[in-house]
C-alpha cells in the first residue's frame, strides 16, 4: 500500500508530461495547419469573397478602403526633399504621417502581404532586367497622372465609386480598358525595339532563409496586429485608424494569397483572353454593392465624401492614362504594394514614380484650377462638387430612387460579365 502511495507522484508526473507532450504536438499541428494555409494559394474568387467581407466591416465602422491618397503623400515628401514644394504650391509643412489614414493603410497592406509571403515561404528578392526599371518608371508616371485626373487609382477612382453607386467608376473602367489595349501594343513595340536585358538571379532560395522566413513572417504579423489593436483600443484618440490598420493588414494578406489583381482584370482579356480576374472583380462589386446601399441609405457613410468630382471627362481620361501606365508598370496601385512586399524590385521604380507623379500632377491641376471645387446648391437632395474635370455623380440622387440605382449597377455588371464571357469563347478583343 505504501508502495502504491509512492507511485502516485510518479503517475501524476507521467500524466502531466504526457499532457505537455500532447499540447506541444497539438500546437505543432496547429502551426503546420496555419503554415499550410499560408503556403496554399486560393482562387481570386475566394479572394474577392474575403475582400468583400473586410470592406463591409470597414463600412460598418464608417470608413472605406483607399490607396492613392497615401501614395500621393509619399510623393509630397519626395517633392519637399527635392525642393519643388514652393514651385508646386505644396504646403510649407506636411501634416504628421499619423494623420494620413491612407498612408497608414498602405503601410499596413504592405505588412500584411509581407507577413503572408514570409510565412508561406514565397518571399524572394527579384531584381528585374534593367529595362523593367524604365518600364516601371514610365508606368508609374502615367498612373500618377491618371489617378490625379480620375480622383483615385483602381480603388478610389474605379472600385469605390462603383460600390458607392457613382457612374464615375464605370467611366474610369472604359478608360482603363482603352488604355490597356493601347498599353499592350505600346509595350510590345518597346520590347521589339529596345534591348530588354536579362534578369539577375533572385535572392532568397537558400535553405537557411527558408527556415527562418516563416518565423520572421509571424514576427511581422504579430507586430502589425499589435499595432492595429493598440490604435483600435484608443478609438477616441485615433478615430477609425485602428480599424483601418487591421482591415488593410487583412487586405494585404488576402491579395497576396489570392493573387487578385485589378490590373489583370482589365489587361488579361486583351492579352490572353483570360477573364478569371475580371469575373472575380465583378463578384467583389456584386457582393459589396448591396450592403453598401444599406449603409448609405442609413447614413452610416457619406457618399459625397468618397465620390470624386470627375464624372465624366476626368474619370475617362484618368482611366486612359492609368490603363496605359499599369501595363508598362506590370500592376496597379494595390498590386504594386503587395508585389513589392514579395520582393519584386521593379515595383520600387513603379512606386517611386507613381507617388511623385501623383503628387506633382495633383499640385499642377490644383494650380491651374482644374480641381477647384464649386457647389450646386440647388441640386436635388445633395450638394455635389463640380470641377473642370467633372462633377460628383451619385445614382440614387440622379435617378431619384434606390431601385434604379441598384438595377443600373447590377445590369452593367451583367453586361460586363457577358462581354468577358463572349471574349473568352471568341477571343474577339484579344491582341495575342
CB-count exposure of residue 384 (10 Å: 0-12, 13-18, 19+): buried
CB neighbour list of residue 91: distance below 8 Å, 6 or more residues apart: 85
pLDDT < 70 stretches in the chain? 1-39, 381, 432
Question: What are the grid coordinates assigned to 190, written together?
Answer: 518597346
**Does any domain span residue 1?**
no
Termini Cα distance of the chain: 88
Residue 378: CB atoms within 10 Å:
6
- pLDDT score for 37: 63
Is the previous residue joined to 113 through a cis bond, with omega within 30 degrees of 0?
Answer: no
**Residue appearing with cell numbers 509630397:** 76
Determine, yes or no, domain membership for 5.
Answer: no
**Count of residues for the chain?**
432
Taking the C-alpha atoms of residue 287 and residue 325, their distance in angstroms, rounded to an integer, is 28
Angle 355-360-364 from CA coordinates, rounded to 5°: 150
The Cα 314–Cα 411 span in angstroms is: 24
The whole domain housing 77 covers 42-426
Q: Decide if 431 is inside a domain.
A: no
Question: What is the helix, strand, coil percentage profile of the chain, to 5?
Answer: 75, 5, 25
Number of domains in the chain: 1
Q: Please check whether residue 304 lies inside any domain of the structure.
A: yes
Q: Which residues pair with 391 in a beta bridge?
A: 311, 386
Task: Encode burial over 73-97: b for 16+ CB neighbours within 10 A, e otherwise.
Answer: bbbbbbbbeeebbeebebeeeeeee
Residue whose entry in the numeric block shows the C-alpha cell 497576396: 256
Question: CA angle, 150 as apex, 243 and 102 as ends, to 5°?
Answer: 20
Q: Does residue 376 lie within any of the structural domains?
A: yes
Give pLDDT, residue 18.
Answer: 63
pLDDT score, position 16: 53
Where do the DSSP E strands lie in 241-348? Answer: none
In this structure, is residue 2 part of a structural domain? no
The pLDDT of residue 2: 46
Report if residue 134 sits inside a domain. Answer: yes
Distances (CA, A) of 304 to 52, 65, 395: 21, 15, 11
Q: With the C-alpha atoms ordered 204, 209, 210, 216, is the resulting torsion angle positive or negative?
A: negative
- 32 lies in some domain: no
Rounded to 5 degrees, φ, ψ at 68 are -60, -35
Q: How far does Cα 203 stand from its chain's mean position?
A: 26
Mention every residue, 6+ apart, whose C-beta is less than 8 A from residue 354: 71, 75, 139, 140, 141, 143, 144, 147, 329, 333, 336
Amino acid at each position: 500500500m505504501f508502495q502504491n502511495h509512492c507511485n502516485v507522484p510518479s503517475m501524476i508526473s507521467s500524466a502531466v508530461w504526457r499532457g505537455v507532450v500532447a499540447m506541444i504536438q497539438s500546437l505543432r499541428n496547429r502551426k503546420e495547419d496555419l503554415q499550410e494555409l499560408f503556403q496554399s494559394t486560393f482562387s481570386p474568387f475566394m479572394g474577392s469573397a474575403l475582400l468583400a467581407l473586410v470592406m463591409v466591416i470597414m463600412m460598418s465602422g464608417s470608413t472605406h478602403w483607399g490607396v492613392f491618397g497615401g501614395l500621393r503623400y509619399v510623393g509630397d515628401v519626395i517633392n519637399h526633399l527635392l525642393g519643388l514644394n514652393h514651385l508646386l504650391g505644396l504646403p510649407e509643412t506636411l501634416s504628421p504621417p499619423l494623420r494620413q489614414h491612407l498612408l497608414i493603410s498602405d503601410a499596413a497592406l504592405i505588412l500584411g502581404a509581407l507577413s503572408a509571403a514570409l510565412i508561406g515561404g514565397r518571399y524572394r528578392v527579384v531584381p528585374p532586367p534593367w529595362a523593367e526599371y524604365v518600364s516601371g518608371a514610365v508606368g508609374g508616371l502615367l498612373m500618377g497622372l491618371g489617378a490625379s485626373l480620375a480622383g483615385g487609382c483602381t480603388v478610389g477612382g474605379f472600385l469605390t465609386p462603383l460600390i458607392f453607386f457613382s457612374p464615375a467608376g464605370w467611366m474610369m473602367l472604359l478608360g482603363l480598358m482603352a488604355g490597356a489595349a493601347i498599353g499592350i501594343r505600346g509595350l510590345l513595340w518597346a520590347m521589339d525595339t529596345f534591348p530588354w536585358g536579362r534578369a539577375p538571379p533572385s535572392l532568397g532560395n537558400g535553405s537557411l532563409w527558408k527556415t527562418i522566413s516563416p518565423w520572421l513572417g509571424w514576427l511581422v504579423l504579430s507586430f502589425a496586429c499589435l499595432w492595429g489593436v493598440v490604435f483600435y483600443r484608443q478609438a477616441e484618440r485615433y478615430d477609425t485608424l485602428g480599424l483601418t490598420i487591421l482591415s488593410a493588414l487583412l487586405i494585404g494578406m488576402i491579395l497576396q494569397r489570392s493573387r487578385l489583381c485589378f490590373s489583370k482584370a482589365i489587361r488579361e482579356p486583351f492579352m490572353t483572353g483570360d477573364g478569371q480576374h475580371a469575373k472575380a472583380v465583378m463578384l467583389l462589386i456584386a457582393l459589396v454593392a448591396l450592403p453598401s446601399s444599406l449603409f448609405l441609405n442609413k447614413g452610416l457613410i457619406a457618399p459625397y465624401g468618397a465620390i470624386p468630382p470627375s464624372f465624366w471627362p476626368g474619370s475617362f481620361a484618368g482611366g486612359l492614362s492609368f490603363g496605359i501606365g499599369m501595363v508598362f508598370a506590370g500592376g496597379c496601385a494595390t498590386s504594386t504594394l503587395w508585389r513589392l512586399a514579395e520582393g519584386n524590385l521593379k515595383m520600387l521604380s513603379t512606386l517611386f514614380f507613381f507617388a511623385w507623379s501623383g503628387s506633382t500632377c495633383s499640385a499642377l491641376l490644383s494650380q491651374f484650377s482644374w480641381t477647384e471645387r464649386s457647389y450646386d446648391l440647388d441640386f436635388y437632395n445633395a450638394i455635389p462638387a463640380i470641377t473642370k474635370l467633372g462633377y460628383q455623380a451619385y445614382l440614387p440622387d440622379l435617378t431619384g430612387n434606390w431601385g434604379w440605382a441598384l438595377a443600373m449597377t447590377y445590369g452593367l455588371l451583367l453586361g460586363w460579365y457577358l462581354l468577358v464571357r463572349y471574349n473568352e469563347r471568341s477571343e474577339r478583343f484579344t491582341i495575342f
